[in-house]
Structure 1
Amino acid sequence: MSYLHAMTCYTEGIKVLAPVKWRSLDGLVGVFWDAEGQSGAKGYYLSPDPRIVIFFSDVSPFIQMTNREGGMAAHARPMTRAVYVPAGVPLWTSFTSSHRFSHLDLHLHKDRMLRFLSPSVGMSCALAALRRPVEIQDVGAIETLAGLLVDEVSTPTKHAVYAESLVGSIVSGLLDVSDHGTELPNGRLTQAQLNKLIMHVNTRSDGRLSVAEMAETVGLSESWFANVFKQTTGKTPLQWQLARRIDLAQKLLVESELSITDIAAQLGFSDQAHLTKTFRQIVGGTPAAWRRMQQFN
């Protein structure tokens, strides 16, 4: 399949440090970058095709990302080692400090990805996987595969089928190709989706996300997410999130000397009374009484 990728790309404060290496294959293009971003550097990327980005070092302390326009302040999350961006999903990035990095970009035609996946998992599951974004920090064997692919992109030594098979292994290893997802037959979230949601919530100091943001994190519609979330956890998304905020309150009560008023403000409760009422409903006592009890244990 003859394929030329198209992407809208805008960057500021990012410079390329070595000649870009790229190779066009059957229905995909691999591009290897070695670059550096200054503190405050930023980028915007939008492609009509699916794409994968794999970093060869940990960039999470240096690069933030968001899929919401103007959302860097409120919705930013650390960039992970490997990212799958579905077709048509925008991505904004911002550097919190200067950092040199290298990464492999894979631009893939949708039909090529379906050819990788559908013979093994079925067309319905493959289509669902293509719609679900993926962000992972523990890249494991994917980094090894990406390194082998970079060698073939930079200096081809084997038939193209070798490089294409590496891409296929990366796709199948990175994407969520389980039987669960947008069309979840048993109405439950996967453990991978729950882990991703927990990681995202943990990046917020107040532990708060809207249901729409939670649904977007795992690649589901808001209405479907609310339904399958309760089937999975036994709680509504807001009940689950409220319980996690109370867990954070307990952690702050034990590990800090913050007043209950300050804890309430930090965790997004309207006032101390609101925190106390919610805390009593979930824990069975007031924050003050619970803190005193911990001090004597």
Structure 2
Amino acid sequence: MGFLHSMICETDGIQAIAPVQWRSFDDMCAVYWHARATKGAGGYYISPDPRIMLFFDDISGRARMAEDAEAVTTAGRPMLQALYVPPGRPMWTRFSDNHKFSHLDLHFNRRWLQGKLAPVLGEAAANAAILRPVERQDVAPLIVIGHTLARELATPSRHPLFAESLAMSLISGLLDLSEEADLIELASGGLTPMQMRRLRAMVAESGGARLSTGVLAEAVGLSESWFTQAFKKTTGKTPLQWQQEQRIALVKELLLRGDLSIASVADRFGFADQAHLTRVFRQYEGTTPAAWRREQRLSL
């Protein structure tokens, strides 16, 4: 007998509308669903095995997800087309409208997946990759692979190795197989240097405008709750505190580069007025923007 998943699944208002296609392999199990969800339908899912969910149509406008039963209705995020769910990670879902959808579920033997990734990434980096959740929307190449695998489930035509190779293509295309140092950092529960660089670039590109935690989390492919914990572990600050520091750094750069008035600088970075900028700037630098600029120019 091949590998069978051990997922706990509780749904309400979701039902299959066609025979479920599934196939068990030595170290993975693949399931292809056509289903219907009614408005308000939802589900709870948790598995000791790593898994992939690949939706063949965009359900982000109709379905939301969270790692908490309460949050899924109040602060859940859109369910994107491709998800990698680490072992032991709970998921609650909720549909806001009636919807028909199809998706492919792949469940993997964790030891097998570790064995596939470790020779390429190293043991620590492979383990970190397996523990990191991923949510992506722009997955057109993966959809093509997913359809091919779904057809192979319905009508097997080749050796099982073909289906397993398609599954590995989905894994390598979906998981963020970053540099080893980055992945080792993930194993400790923090954000990687690459993710922090991406966040700094976002803040700079926004002109210092405040970005929501949800927007920051989405930019690095994490859920909001997971991101908040990882961010605090990495920086020792909340996303809001860190953004304020980044804004002040941008303010200082502009103060040195030109002769804009303090009021103009305040307006450029989204402060209410000059007094607001001065108050925040003093909290971080212990002096006013004008005094800081004078001191810096005198020291050059």
Q: Normalized against structure 2, the TM-score is what?
A: 0.69
Alignment deviations for residues 133-168 of structure 1 (CA, whole Å, 9 cap, x no partner): 000001131111111111111110000000001111
- Residue 259 of structure 2 is matched in structure 1 by none
The letter of the residue matching 1:237 is P
Contact 1:133 1:218 in 2 (8 A): no
CA contact (8 A) 2:10 2:44 kept: yes
- Indicate conservation of the 8 Å contact 1:208/1:241, yes or no: no
Q: Which amino acid aligns with 2:143?
A: E
Q: How does 1:102-113 map to 2 (within 5 A)?
A: 102-113=102-113
Aligned-residue CA RMSD (Å): 3.8
2:209 is equivalent to residue 207 of structure 1: no
1:18-37 correspondence to structure 2 within 5 Å: 18-37=18-37
In the comparison of the two structures, how many residue pairs are matched? Answer: 243
Show the counterpart of 2:56.
Answer: 56
Q: For residue 85 of structure 1, what is the aligned residue in structure 2?
A: 85
Alignment counterpart, residue 226 of structure 1, candidates 212, 215, 232:
232
Larger Rg: 2
Mapping for residues 259-270 of structure 1, pairs under 5 Å: none
Q: SS of 1:119's equivalent?
A: helix
**Residues 57, 193 of structure 1: alpha-carbon distance in 2 compared, 3 angstrom cutoff:** farther
Q: Which residue of 2 aligns with 1:135?
A: 135
1:183 partner letter: E
Q: 1:53 to 1:188 in 2, by over 3 A?
A: closer
Matches within 5 A, 1:1-297: 2-178=2-178, 179=180, 180-183=182-185, 188-191=192-195, 194=198, 207=212, 217=224, 222=229, 225-226=231-232, 228-229=234-235, 237-241=239-243, 277=276, 281=280
- Matched to 2:121, the amino acid is V
Shift of 1:100: 0.6
Distance 1:21 1:184, change over 3 A: closer
Task: Name the CA distance, whole Å, in 1 between partners of 2:4 and 2:126.
Answer: 22
The residue number in structure 2 matching 1:289 is none
- Retained in 1: the 8 A contact 2:128–2:186? no
Distance in 2 separating the partners of 1:244 and 1:97:
40
Q: Can you give the 5+ residue segments of structure 1 that lack an aligned partner in the other structure?
A: 199-205, 246-272, 286-297
For 1:167 and 1:142, how far apart are their aligned partners in 2? 10
The answer to whether the 8 Å contact 1:193/1:218 transfers is no
**How far 1:52 sits from its partner (Å)?**
0.5
Q: Is the 8 A contact 2:9 2:45 kept in 1?
A: yes
Q: Could you tell me which amino acid in structure 2 is paired with residue 25 of structure 1?
A: F
Give the match's secondary structure for 2:49.
coil
Q: Tell me the secondary structure at the aligned position of residue 181 of structure 1.
A: helix
Instruction: Indicate conservation of the 8 Å contact 2:42/2:94, yes or no.
Output: yes
User: Does structure 2 retain, via aligned residues, the 8 Å contact 1:131–1:219?
Assistant: no
Gaps of 5+ in 2: 203-210, 248-271, 282-287, 290-300
Q: TM-score of the superposition, structure 1-length normalised?
A: 0.70
Residues 24 and 238 (structure 1), Cα distance of their counterparts in 2 relative to 1, 3 Å cut: same
Percent identity of equivalent pairs? 41
CA-to-aligned-CA distance 1:190-214 (integer Å, 9 cap, x gap): 349957xx8xxxxxxx9357x9999
Code of the aligned partner of 1:144: V
SS of aligned partner of 1:176: coil
Change (3 A) 1:241 1:221: closer
